[in-house]
């Protein structure tokens, strides 16, 4: 009887190795043919910081990133489009005197974000404009929702009252012309509430990109510096997810899908590739991943010190996020990466 012998197969007639995976890596041409994941500028969403001032401010906390005036923001978005990047997401720095405990400025139709949306849409009608829905830039406590102190003196963010305000914020973005609203607050039930609020005002075509699995991460530090939006007191552990949890992310994904989300986001990205993969397998919705400010800075600072090859490290990090299952990637490297792809 013929015995199946793996050893024989591998060794071949003359006892040498037959199965040689390296044949598929031997030239750039063959590597191109067998490549499983290819990044394109169309995968990217560019996060853009903006402020009320007429100057542009390079950010100390994020080298290579700038907070733009309205006029520059429109130009920057135009450059992104020219590079093939289809979407931007807006992050405003709100003046201190406009911040309040209930963050009313977040639904001012003449506020910074609605004006930015209108300016972007007027200049670039084809650009997909995404807005962040959460109170932290507007809230005098620096939290994503309304803060209360309970009888024991413990701070907590009030869920349902916050959701009502988030609905007003999303509506004000929709009225200004936003294509997608992206709630990043992690309140319970906000996707469903925002969906009904949008539909009730006739904005059935405005999409919801839910920050489904947003972890309470140390890697948001530089972003909070860029917007002066760090919590004044306490932390975000009572609403953002515990980095130790994966099954909980699937629970959030199921809820968001049921509540009518159009896309699901995982954030941060690089340390949470397993979460991206599992959500991708569990849901049929497209998955977005956010390579956050701390991930950006890790590569940026190591490259500045001469310890890493920036281009190679950036492309590798973004490719890994796409390989894990992300259909779109929010990254501060988006413009630079798109330029590099163009050179290739």
153 CB-near residues (< 8 Å, 6+ apart): none
Give the x/- contact pattern for ligand PBG in 182-201, rule: CB under 6 A.
--x-----------------
Distance CA 197, CA 202 (A): 9
Of 15-23, 116-124, 220-228, 335-343, the segment contacting ligand PBG by CB under 6 A is 220-228
Residue 210 as a binder of ligand PBG (CB under 6 A): the answer is: no
123 vs 298, beta carbon nearer ligand PBG: 298
Does residue 141 belong to the site contacting ligand PBG (CB under 6 A)?
A: no
Residue 3 annotated as catalytic:
no
Q: What is the phi/psi pair of residue 54, to 5°?
A: -95, -5
x/- mask, ligand PBG, residues 260-279, rule CB under 6 A, reads --------------------
Distance separating alpha carbons of residues 252 and 273, to the nearest angstrom:
16
# residues contacting ligand PBG (CB under 6 A): 10
Among 43, 105, 141, 144, binds ligand PBG (CB under 6 A): 144
Greatest CA separation for the chain:
87
- Contact status: 220 vs ligand PBG (CB under 6 A): yes
Strand ranges in the chain using DSSP code E only, listed in sequence order? 44-50, 57-58, 66-68, 87-92, 128-133, 147-149, 155-157, 180-183, 207-214, 263-267, 287-291, 328-331
Supply the minimum distance, in Å, between the C-beta of residue 289 and ligand PBG: 12
- CA-CA distance, 276 to 287, in Å (whole number)? 7
Whether 267 is a known active-site residue: answer yes
Instruction: Pick from 293, 317, 319, 331 the residue near ligand PBG by CB under 6 A.
Output: 293
The active-site residue, picked from 93, 99, 236, 267, is 267
Q: Given the complex with ligand PBG, which of 136 and 141 has the nearer CB atom?
A: 136
At its nearest, how many Å lie between ligand PBG and the CB of residue 267?
A: 7
The answer to whether 224 contacts ligand PBG (rule: CB under 6 A) is yes
Q: Determine the Cα–Cα distance for residues 326 and 324; give it in Å rounded to an integer.
A: 6
Q: SS3 for 300?
A: helix
Q: Which stretch binds ligand PBG (CB under 6 A): 16-24, 66-74, 77-85, 217-225?
A: 217-225
Instruction: Check binding of 292 to ligand PBG (CB under 6 A).
Output: yes
What Cα–Cα distance (Å) separates residue 288 from each residue in 9, 138, 266, 329, 331? 43, 25, 6, 6, 11
* Number of Cβ atoms within 10 Å of the Cβ of 40: 12
d(CA 322, CA 327): 7
> Which range binds ligand PBG by CB under 6 A, 21-29, 131-139, 158-166, 275-283?
131-139
Q: In this chain, which of 215, 223, 239, 333 binds ligand PBG, going by CB under 6 A?
A: 223
Shortest Cβ contact with ligand PBG: which residue? 223
**Is 324:273 a contact under the CB 8 Å cutoff?**
yes
Annotated catalytic residue: which of 93, 99, 214, 236?
214
Nearer CB in complex with ligand PBG: 182/206: 182
> Is the Cβ of residue 203 or residue 220 nearer to ligand PBG in the bound state?
220
Neighbouring CB atoms inside 10 A of 288's CB total 29
Q: How far is the CB of 225 from ligand PBG (least distance, A)?
A: 10
Quick check: 137 and 182 in contact, CB under 8 A? no
Catalytic residue numbers read 214, 267
User: Where does this chain bind ligand PBG (CB under 6 A)?
Assistant: 132, 134, 136, 144, 184, 220, 223-224, 292-293
């Amino acid at each position: 009887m013929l015995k199946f012998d793996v050893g024989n197969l591998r060794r071949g007639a003359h006892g040498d190795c037959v199965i040689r995976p390296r044949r598929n890596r031997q030239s750039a041409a063959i590597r191109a043919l067998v490549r499983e994941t290819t990044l394109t500028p169309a995968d990217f969403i560019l996060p853009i910081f903006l402020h009320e001032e007429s100057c542009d401010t390079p950010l100390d906390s994020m080298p290579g990133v700038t907070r733009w005036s309205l006029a520059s923001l429109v130009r920057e978005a135009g450059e992104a489009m020219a590079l093939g990047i289809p979407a931007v997401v807006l992050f405003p720095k709100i003046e201190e005197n406009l911040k309040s405990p209930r963050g009313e400025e977040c639904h001012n139709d003449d506020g910074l974000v609605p004006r930015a949306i209108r300016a972007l849409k007027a200049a670039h009608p084809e650009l997909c404009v995404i807005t962040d829905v959460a109170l932290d830039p507007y809230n005098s406590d620096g939290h994503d929702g309304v803060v209360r102190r309970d009888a024991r003196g413990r701070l907590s963010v009030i869920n349902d009252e916050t959701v009502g305000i988030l609905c007003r914020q999303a509506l004000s973005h929709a009225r200004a012309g936003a294509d997608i609203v992206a709630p990043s607050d992690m309140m319970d039930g906000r996707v469903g509430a925002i969906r009904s609020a949008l539909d009730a005002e006739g904005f059935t075509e405005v999409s919801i990109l839910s920050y489904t699995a947003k972890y309470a991460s140390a890697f948001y530090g530089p972003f909070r510096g860029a917007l002066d939006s760090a919590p004044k007191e306490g932390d975000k552990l009572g609403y953002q997810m515990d980095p130790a949890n994966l099954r909980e992310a699937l629970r959030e994904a199921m809820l968001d899908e049921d509540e009518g989300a159009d896309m699901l986001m995982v954030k941060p990205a690089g340390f949470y590739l397993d979460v991206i993969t599992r959500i991708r397998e569990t849901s049929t919705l497209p998955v977005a991943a956010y390579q956050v400010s701390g991930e950006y800075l890790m590569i940026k600072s190591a490259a500045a010190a001469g310890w890493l090859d920036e281009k190679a490290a950036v492309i590798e990090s973004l490719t890994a996020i796409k390989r894990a299952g992300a259909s779109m990637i929010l990254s501060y490297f988006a413009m630079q990466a798109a330029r590099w792809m163009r050179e290739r």
